[in-house]
């Protein structure tokens, strides 16, 4: 029997119970649902009431899993044998599997752009998309970089940039830098005023745990990449953005996947063909950074020649980082730039350069 006042809302309470307390590994019986109605909402309902409301939810195409059991009984009045279908092992089929939620949460855990407090809030919201069993396990998950400097306006920046891109409008920003006080400071003009920059925004992209804006600085003709967490005092303007096909490197449109692989760590610059060698045992390192965009040729001496279209500045930084195993062969001018970087490193540590 159902107490007065709960008849209309009981179906929503049952749905909440299924969402909160069940998943494919933790089903409930009709009686257990009735017990939760009483303990959580103070509503007394028999199994027949629970069954009818669950049937309504199923008929309304809510994602509810169940097992049916057929029971046979004899009607005391007529003496006829009757069969009744019982719905048991009921659970809510959540939109995301636990594995999928773990992947999304891992992405937030290792994000270097999202501020710590919003990151924790987002992780909790993701955990709430599953049952309470998953949420309880998430209490033992801790976020990284809690003490690293972060821009509290990150989400505002993303919102304004998304709007500007969708509307084809320019944005005005002040680009910042982090000081030794771990705070974000505005870049200044020579006269000490904050330096405003006019940008034509085209695409937001996540790379190496950070968010970047692919854009064009209005008084230049090339593509630029800006760290979104270093953007300050952003403002969407009503002036139309410069069409991407008028920007060098975007004449044929922005092919995002190619662009990210050609601009390792989001260094800008026009891609060019680069050949380099690595020991065969380190090919996985190349694939980690360039994926299927790199082509290989086995030299037969334990080393592999690699060919890739990549930004010169990006390749210089990447090859210098792995100078112990990566050797750029061509173009020779790039190889010389890398040698110069290595000589600087020797000198920086008080060593005689080779």
Assess whether 42 and 73 both reside in one domain. yes
Residues 286 and 223 in one domain: no
Question: In this predicted structure, what is the pLDDT of residue 4?
Answer: 47
Q: Please state the rounded mean pLDDT for residues 131-150.
A: 59
CATH number of the CATH domain containing 287: 3.30.70
105 and 52 in a single domain? The answer is no
- How many domains does one find in the chain? 4
pLDDT for the residue 128:
81
* Pair 199, 275 in one domain: no
Which is higher by pLDDT, 210 or 29? 29
- Residue 161, number of CB atoms within 10 A of its CB: 25
pTM: 0.56
Q: Token pair of 301, please? A: 């001496």
pLDDT (average), residues 76-87: 77
Residues 84 and 57 in one domain: yes
Task: Using the predicted structure, report yes or no on whether residue 148 has a pLDDT greater than 60.
Answer: no
Confidence of residue 1 (pLDDT cuts 50, 70, 90): very low
pLDDT for 276 equals 94
Q: What is the mean pLDDT of residues 53-69?
A: 90
Q: What is the mean pLDDT of the chain?
A: 83
**Residues 213-247 pLDDT 10s:** 989 999 999 888 898 888 999 999 999 999 988 98
**Window from 150-164, 189-203, 263-277, 293-307 with minimum mean pLDDT:** 263-277
The answer to whether residue 224 is domain-embedded is yes
Q: Is residue 65 part of a domain?
A: yes
Q: What is the pLDDT of residue 327?
A: 94
Specify whether 35 is located in the same domain as 123. Answer: no
- Looking at the fold, whether 81 and 16 belong to one and the same domain comes out as yes
Q: Are residues 161 and 243 in the same domain?
A: yes
Query: What are the C-alpha distances in Å from 347 to residues 74, 313, 342, 352?
Result: 96, 22, 9, 6
Residue 4 lies in a domain: no
Say if residue 77 is in the same domain as residue 109. Answer: no
The CATH number linked to 43 is 1.10.10
Instruction: Give me the pLDDT at residue 3, please.
Output: 46
Specify which residues 295 forms β-bridges with: 307
Residue 4 C-alpha from the chain's centroid: 47
Q: Does residue 259 lie in a domain region?
A: no
| Residue 211 and residue 283 in one domain | no
**pLDDT at residue 32 is higher than 80:** yes
50: containing domain: 10-92
Q: What is the mean predicted confidence (pLDDT) over 8-27?
A: 90
Residues 244 and 334 in one domain: no
In a domain, 262, yes or no: no
Residues 6+ apart with CB under 8 A from 32: none
Percent of the chain with pLDDT over 90: 35
Is 5 part of a structural domain of the chain? no
- Asked which of 143-147, 193-197, 311-315 is least confident by mean pLDDT, the reply is 143-147
Any residues with CB less than 8 A from the CB of 226 and at least 6 apart, and which? 173, 175, 199, 212, 213, 215
The whole-number pLDDT of residue 263 equals: 64
Widest Cα–Cα separation across the chain:
105
Read off the pLDDT band of 136 (50, 70, 90). Answer: low
In the structure, what pLDDT confidence band is assigned to residue 267 with cuts at 50, 70 and 90?
Answer: low
Residue 3 lies in a domain: no
Res 346 pLDDT > 90: no
In a domain, 146, yes or no: no
- What SS3 class is residue 18? helix
Region 34-51: mean pLDDT is 91
Note whether 159 and 248 are same-domain residues.
yes
Whether 27 and 69 have beta carbons less than 8 Å apart is answered as no
The string of pLDDT tens digits covering residues 95-112 is 888 777 776 776 676 666
Q: Are 234 and 248 in contact (CB under 8 A)?
A: no
């Amino acid at each position: 029997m159902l107490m007065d006042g709960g008849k209309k809302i009981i179906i929503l309470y049952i749905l909440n119970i299924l969402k909160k307390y069940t998943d494919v590994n933790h089903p409930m019986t009709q009686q257990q649902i009735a017990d939760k109605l009483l303990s959580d909402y103070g509503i007394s309902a028999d199994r027949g009431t629970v069954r009818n409301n669950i049937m309504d939810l199923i008929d309304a195409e809510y994602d509810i899993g169940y097992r049916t059991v057929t029971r046979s009984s004899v009607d005391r009045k007529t003496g006829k044998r009757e069969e009744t279908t019982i719905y048991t092992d009921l659970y809510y089929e959540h939109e995301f599997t636990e594995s999928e939620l773990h992947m999304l949460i891992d992405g937030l855990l290792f994000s270097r752009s999202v501020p710590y407090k919003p990151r924790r809030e987002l992780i909790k919201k993701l955990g709430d998309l599953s049952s309470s069993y998953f949420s309880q396990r998430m209490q033992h998950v801790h976020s990284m970089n809690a003490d690293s400097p972060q821009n509290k306006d990150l989400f505002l920046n993303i919102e304004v940039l998304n709007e500007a891109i969708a509307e084809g409008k320019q944005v005005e920003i002040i680009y910042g830098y982090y000081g030794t006080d771990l705070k974000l400071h505005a870049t200044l003009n020579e006269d000490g005023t904050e330096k405003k920059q006019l940008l034509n925004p085209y695409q937001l992209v996540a790379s190496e745990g950070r968010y970047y804006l692919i854009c064009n600085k209005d008084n230049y003709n090339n593509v630029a990449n800006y760290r979104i967490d270093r953007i300050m005092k952003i403002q969407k303007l009503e002036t139309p953005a410069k069409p991407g096909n008028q920007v060098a490197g975007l004449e044929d449109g922005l092919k995002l996947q190619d662009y990210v692989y050609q601009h390792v760590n989001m260094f800008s610059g026009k891609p060019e063909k680069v050949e380099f060698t690595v020991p065969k045992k380190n090919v996985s390192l190349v694939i980690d950074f360039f994926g299927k965009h790199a082509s290989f040729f086995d030299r037969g001496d334990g080393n592999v020649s690699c060919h890739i279209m990549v930004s010169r500045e990006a390749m210089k930084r990447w090859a210098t980082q792995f100078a112990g195993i990566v050797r750029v062969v061509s173009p020779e001018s790039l190889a010389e730039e890398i040698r110069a970087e290595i000589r600087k490193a020797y000198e920086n540590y008080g060593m005689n350069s080779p």
